[in-house]
Amino acid sequence: MKRFWVLLFTGVLGLSPSVWAVKTQYWTHTTFNDFSAGEYENVVISNQGNVKLSRELHPLWPEPQDSTVVITSLIRMPDQSVVFATFPDSRVIRLHQGKSDTIARFEGKTITALASDTTGSLYVAVTDGQAELFRIDAGKERPESVYKPEDINYIWSIIDDGHRMVIGVGTPARVIELSPQPRVIATLDGDNVLCLLVDKKGGVYAGTDRSGLVYRILAGTRPELVFDAPEDEVSSLALDSMDRLLVATAQAGEHVRSKTDSPTGKPEQPARESNLPSETPSNPKLPDHSSDIIPETPADLPAPPVTTQPSEASTPDGSRKSTSGPIQPGRNTSSGENSGNALYRISETGLATELFRDALVIYDLVVDGDWIYLATGESGNLYAIHPTTEEQTVVVHTNAAQISRIAKTDDGTLYLATSNMGGVYSLNQDIARKGFYTSPVLDAGLMSRFGKMQLRGRLPEGTQLWISTRSGNTEDAESATWSDWSEPQEAKEFLDIRSPSARYLQYKLEFRSEGQSVPTLEEIRLAYQKPNIAPRIDSVTVENDPNQPKSKTITWSATDPNEDKLTYTVFVRAIGRGGWVELAKDLENPTYTWSARDAADGRYEIKVVASDALDNEPGQGHTASRISETVAIDNTAPVIGDVTINGTTVTFRVVDRNGLITSLDYAINSVQHWQRKLPDDNISDSPEERYTLDLGPLPPGQHTLTLRATDNEGNTAFETIAVSVSK
C-alpha cells in the first residue's frame, strides 16, 4: 500500500505549446457539496466527502412495489421475524424466512402502532375516529380487543418492558399504563404523545407534537420536562450506547437544503492513508558542477539521513508496510439555524447537543453500537451518523418518498419500511458488488486541453476502482457531438485524461467489491490548460483623493481568464496636446494615486494597461487596456473683477477658466464672519457668475469688503475692496 500525492503533469501531445497558457488549472472534488451534484447508483457520499459503495439493499415485499402503499409501523418480534402494517388496506403482515403472511385485516380502520410483549403476543392499535387496541396471540387467528377507551382518538406508541404495557395517546397528549388496570400516569402539553421509551431505571420518556417536548415520567412524581425542541414534533426516541437520550424531530413543512462550504478541522481519530497504486518517478541525474568554484566541504559534516517514501515503513524482514496519514472528516452544516429537522443527544446533566440537521423529516431512528440510523423523507434516504467521528453518510437511497420505519435484529440486519412506494427491505452487512458515480459536467470556460487526473482514496484487498472520461463543446453531455467514454482505467495515483481537447469534461467512476470491503474515493483533481487569453479591464475610475489635495485616486477592475498574475502600467495624456506619458509601471495592486498639483490646467485621460507576461513564456503574454472618462485638472483659482461701487451696492464678476464657480462668500470689516451670497441668477452652475451685493446701512467712513470665490476643484481666490460711506 502506497501513499500518493504528487504534482500533476499537463502535457498533451499534438498541440502547439505556443498557443497555451503556462498556468495549469484544476477541477477539484473533495467535499460533499463537490460530489453531491453528480449522479450515483449503489454509491453513497459522506459529509466528509468520501464516495464509496453502499451496503446492499434486498427488497422483501412486495414484488412489484405498489406506489400507493404506506407502511405505518414496523417492529421486530422476539423470534426475529418482522411484522408491519399497511395503509390504506389496513393489513398486518409477517415476514419470516423470506415468506410473507397476512395475519390480520382491519377493514375500515387505520393501523397506528404495533408492539410485541415478551411472550410473543402482538398488539395492534387502530382507529376509525376512536382508538382501539387488539392483541394477537401466537397460534390464534382472530385478534382480541383488549382496550377501547371512549375518550381517546389515537394510540400512537406502545411499549412493553416485561413488567407493564404503556401507551402514548391523543387527543390530548397522555401516557396511560394498561396493567394491571388502565390508568393515566401523565397528561402532557401537546395534542399527541407520538413516541415512548423506557430507560433502565424504569423511567418513561414521552415525545409530543405541537410544541416538540420530551418528558420523563417516574412513578409517584410529576412529569419532568427534559427537552424543548425548536421543532414542533418529536418523532422518535432512543438510547445510545452510553444510555444517553436521543431525540429526532419531524416538523412538517417545506424544507429547502442550502449548500455550504465544508468546514475545516476534524475530530481526533486513528489516521489512515491513501493506498491507490503509485508509481514514484526516479530522481533525475544531477548536473555536473565539477568545474564550479565552491567552498571546501568540512570533513566532519554528518551524513544526510536515509529516507524512504513517506507512505512506507520498513518491517523487520525488510519488506514495506503502509503507514498512516490523516483523513479529513467534517460536520454537516447543510441548513440554517433551526431549519429542517434534527437529531439531538441529551446528556445526564440535561445538555442538548445537535448531532445532525438537514432539510428533511426524520421518521424513525435506531442505534447499532456507535452508529445511529435515521429514516428520512422526502427523498427516501437512510442516514448513518457516527457522533464520535462526526461522519454522516447516506447509507442507502430508495425510490420511495419516505423511509418511514426501521427495525434491527440481533445479527445487525436492518429492516426498512418505505412509503409512497411502499415496501420492506433488509439491509445486512454485505457491500454492494458494483456501484457507479458520474460527475456533473465540468466547464473550463473555453476549449482546453486536458492533462492528468490525480486520485486519493483507499482500495482494500478485494476492491477495485475504474475511471473513464468524455468531453465535448456543448453543455449537454448526451449530445452526439461529445466523444465516447474513454476506455476505463484502473485507479492509481495519477492517470492521463484520455479525452480530446474541448470546453467540457465529465468523469465516471465504477466501484467494485467482492462484498466484504469498501473501495473509497476521497479526492479527485483534474488538470486542464486553457489557451492564453488576454486579460480584461472592466472599469477605470478617477476620483479626488480626500486625503491629498490636488491628487487623483485611480482605481480599476481587471480579470484574467487563465488566472494569471497581472501587472499594470498607468499612463496620462492631455486631450489634444500630445501623446501618452507613463505615470507608473509594474504595479501589482489595482490602484494608483496621481499627484496632479504640477499638471497644467486642462482635460486629461487616464489609461491602464494590464499584462499577464509574468505567468507566460517570454513573448507569449497578452495585454489589455482601458481609458478613463475625461478628467479635469484645475489648479488655478478663479478671478474676481469688473467691480463697480455705487454707495453701498457692489457689483462684480467671478470667472474660472477650467472649472465652475461653486460658491462666493463675503465679509465686512472681518476675516472670520463670512456670509454666503448667491449669484444674480440664484444658481452657481457656470464658469462665469455675476454678483450684486447690497451692503445695507453702514456707518460713515471707510469699510473693507473681502470676497472669497471657490471653484469645483477647491481653488480659492480672495479680493479686498474699499467701500467709502459719506456722512
Indicate the SS3 state at residue 458. strand
Cβ–Cβ < 8 Å for 133, 155 = yes
Q: Which domains does the chain have, with CATH numbers?
A: 23-39+449-529 (2.60.120), 55-256+331-431 (2.120.10.30), 536-633 (2.60.40.10), 639-725 (2.60.40.650)
**pLDDT over 90 (residue 485):** yes
How many helices (H) does the chain have, and how many strands (E)? 1, 56
**What integer pLDDT is reported at residue 338 of this predicted model?**
54
Once rounded to an integer, what is the mean pLDDT over residues 457-478?
95
C-alpha cell at 397: 437511497
**What integer pLDDT is reported at residue 353 of this predicted model?**
94
**What integer pLDDT is reported at residue 516 of this predicted model?**
83
**pLDDT over 80 (residue 335):** no
pLDDT in tens, 367-395: 999 999 999 987 788 999 999 988 888 88
Q: Using the CB atoms, write b or e for 696-705: b if 16+ within 10 Å.
A: eeeeeeebeb
pLDDT in tens, 68-88: 789 999 999 988 889 999 999
Which residue in 194, 201, 178, 176 sits closest to 237, CA to CA?
Answer: 194
**What integer pLDDT is reported at residue 354 of this predicted model?**
95
Per-residue confidence band for 331, with pLDDT thresholds at 50, 70 and 90: very low
**What integer pLDDT is reported at residue 124 of this predicted model?**
97
**What integer pLDDT is reported at residue 242 of this predicted model?**
92
> What does the alpha-carbon distance between residue 123 and residue 83 come to, in Å, rounded to a whole number?
11
Work out the mean pLDDT of the chain and round it to a whole number: 85
Per-residue confidence band for 21, with pLDDT thresholds at 50, 70 and 90: low
User: Which helix H or strand E contains 587, and what residues bound it?
Assistant: strand 581-587
**What integer pLDDT is reported at residue 411 of this predicted model?**
80
Which residue in 416, 338, 356 sits closest to 82, CA to CA?
Answer: 416
> What does the alpha-carbon distance between residue 74 and residue 170 come to, in Å, rounded to a whole number?
20
Indicate the SS3 state at residue 34. helix
Which residue in 198, 173, 197 sits closest to 187, CA to CA?
Answer: 173
Residue 111, beta-bridge partner list: 126
**pLDDT over 90 (residue 316):** no
Once rounded to an integer, what is the mean pLDDT over residues 536-564?
91
**What integer pLDDT is reported at residue 289 of this predicted model?**
52
Q: In three state form, how does the secondary structure of 254-290 look?
A: CCCCCCCCCCCCCCCCCCCCCCCCCCCCCCCCCCCCC
**pLDDT over 80 (residue 298):** no
User: Which helix H or strand E contains 605, and what residues bound it?
Assistant: strand 602-611
> What does the alpha-carbon distance between residue 166 and residue 180 come to, in Å, rounded to a whole number?
11
**What integer pLDDT is reported at residue 63 of this predicted model?**
59
pLDDT in tens, 562-572: 888 999 999 99
**pLDDT over 80 (residue 169):** yes
**What integer pLDDT is reported at residue 174 of this predicted model?**
96
Cβ–Cβ < 8 Å for 202, 218 = yes
How big is the chain by its Cα radius of gyration, in Å?
A: 40
Per the listing, cell 426516541 goes with 237
**What integer pLDDT is reported at residue 555 of this predicted model?**
96
Q: Omega of the bond prior to 88 within 30 degrees of 0, cis?
A: yes
Tell me the C-alpha to C-alpha distance, in Å, between residue 29 and each of 48, 193, 325.
Answer: 12, 45, 19
**What integer pLDDT is reported at residue 306 of this predicted model?**
38
Q: How many CB atoms lie within 10 A of CB 95?
A: 19
Higher pLDDT, residue 371 or 547: 371
Higher pLDDT, residue 365 or 280: 365
Once rounded to an integer, what is the mean pLDDT over residues 524-553?
91
Cβ–Cβ < 8 Å for 356, 342 = yes
Name the amino acid, one letter, at 9. F
> What is the percentage of the chain residues whose pLDDT exceeds 70?
86
**What integer pLDDT is reported at residue 522 of this predicted model?**
94
> What does the alpha-carbon distance between residue 167 and residue 175 come to, in Å, rounded to a whole number?
6
